[in-house]
Copies of this chain bind each other. A is one copy, B any other.
Amino acid sequence: MYKSLSICDFTPEKEIETRIDALKNKMAREGISFAVILQNVDLFYFTGTIQKGVLIIPADQRALFFVEKSLYRAGMESPLEIIPIKKDKDVGDILRAKGIIKGKCGMELDVIPVILFERWKSILGYDNMIDVSTLIKEVRLIKSEFEIVQILKSGEIISHVFQKARSIIKEGMREIDIDAILIGEMRKMNHQGMLRMRGFNQEMMNGYVTHGYSATISSGADVPISGLGLTPAIGQGASINVVQRGVPVIVDFGGGYNGYITDETRIYVAGEMKDVFRKGYDTAREIIEEIMGFVREGTNTTELYERAYQRAKEAGIEEYFMGHGEGQVGFLGHGLGLEINELPVFTPRHKMVLQEGMVFAIEPKFIIPNEGAVGIEVDFIVRKDGLQRVTDSSLDIGYV
């Protein structure tokens, strides 16, 4: 019954082995003796399931997957052997007996709260800890073919949303009413129901419908467009702002399938688009097309940002590029995977050479104060011979 109700593939044993081995190799190189994996997403990546438990990865021994609850689900979903425990503190004795607690201990110090960290120091009777999150992010950076299949299915959900958006957006609608239809539509298409962004205070919704004034207001978040939302308690997403003729409606949605996130943006316009947005749209489109032309294995991530900025400058709209005023952000795109803020990041500062299996979103957007915003966001997979798009959804303006 359990497996007959599963529409998503469980993570194959071979995948899990390859992932754990990749981390072990990096740990050995960095002189980390063992890692304690506690975060939901990392647990899913390395075990195939998310339960109350902990995965211990010694650099030189088999990984040990301790589960408190649910043993039943863990057994169904994970190809790893499950070691049942009553309480997390049972783990300390077992690791001591196996001689695993020695050398440097890697933990996800970018996300583990202080109190939990202190608890694990006490469980292990040990305090030689070091951050292992950078190594985990590096392993997760290169997607396997299994992962790419999930990402393509995630992309299908977005393509469907964009089609639906075209048929339902009308002048006079509230952003929130458009959002209501589209998030329901995603769910019907088997969207997993939520998306993840790594880090403290990082919160996100499944979709963002913004338009005109509400697309121009910056927020505390490190994104070019966040929307006003319905309350200062959330401060992002659709608002009650009403669609006006000629002003682009920004539809920025996140697909979610079997954990994997896709993230694309299209614009919709009732009637003819106002001239003030034309240069922004054309430039965004040129940036995407240029990237599809020159990027391949070996391209430097900074080159994408620099070329895009150059295009914006040539069009004379660099002051609106990726935000305006205090809202301007310093990146053109971001990696995708189980979290929406994976590597690589496309900024002028962080250099990274593109390799086959990297997956990312490129989002040239222009925010014009008091008028509105315009832009496109497209997801790509790096292949040996160039970029593959994640969706086949048209980049054209959706006239409605």
Which A positions have Cβ atoms within 8 angstroms of B?
1-2, 5-8, 10-11, 38-40, 44, 48-53, 69-73, 77, 107, 109-117, 131, 176-177, 179-181, 183-185, 187-188, 190-194, 196, 199-201, 203, 205, 213-214, 217-222, 228-241, 256-260, 326-327, 338
Name A's interface SS: loop
Contact between A5 and B201 (Cβ–Cβ < 8 Å)?
no
Known: A187-B180, A218-B73, A220-B69. A49 touches B232 (CB 8 A): yes
Task: Please tell me if the beta carbons of A72 and B109 are within 8 angstroms of each other in the complex.
Answer: no
| Closest-CB distance, A17 to chain B (whole angstroms) | 17
Assembly CA distance A218 to B71 (angstroms): 9
- With a CB–CB cut-off of 8 A, which chain B residues contact A40? 201, 203
Contacts of A115 in B (CB 8 A): 109-110, 131
Write the chain B residue with the least CB distance to A114. Answer: B109
Q: Pick from B38, B116, B219: contact of A70, CB below 8 A.
A: B219
Residues of B close to A233: CB separation below 8 A: 8, 44, 50, 192, 258-260, 338
Q: How many copies does the complex hold?
A: 2
Known: A6-B228, A179-B193. 13 other contacts (CB 8 A): A5-B241, A8-B232, A11-B232, A38-B200, A44-B233, A50-B233, A70-B217, A112-B113, A113-B200, A180-B188, A190-B240, A191-B230, A194-B234
A327 and B113 contacting across the interface, CB-CB below 8 Å:
no
List the B side residues contacting A72 at CB < 8 Å: 217-218, 326
Q: How far is the CA of A151 from the CA of B359 in the complex (A)?
A: 42
B-side contacts of A44, CB under 8 Å: 232-233
A177 to B114, CA, bound (A): 40
Residues in B neighbouring A187, C-beta threshold 8 A: 176, 179-180, 183-184, 238
Once bound together, how far apart are the Cα atoms of A50 and B185, in whole Å? 30
Given contacts A5-B241, A180-B187, A190-B176, contact A231 B205 (CB under 8 A): no
| Inter-chain contacts of A112 with B (CB < 8 A) | 113-114, 200
Nearest to A118 among chain B residues (CB) is: B109
Closest to A192 in B: B234
Cα distance A131–B60 when bound, in Å?
Answer: 37
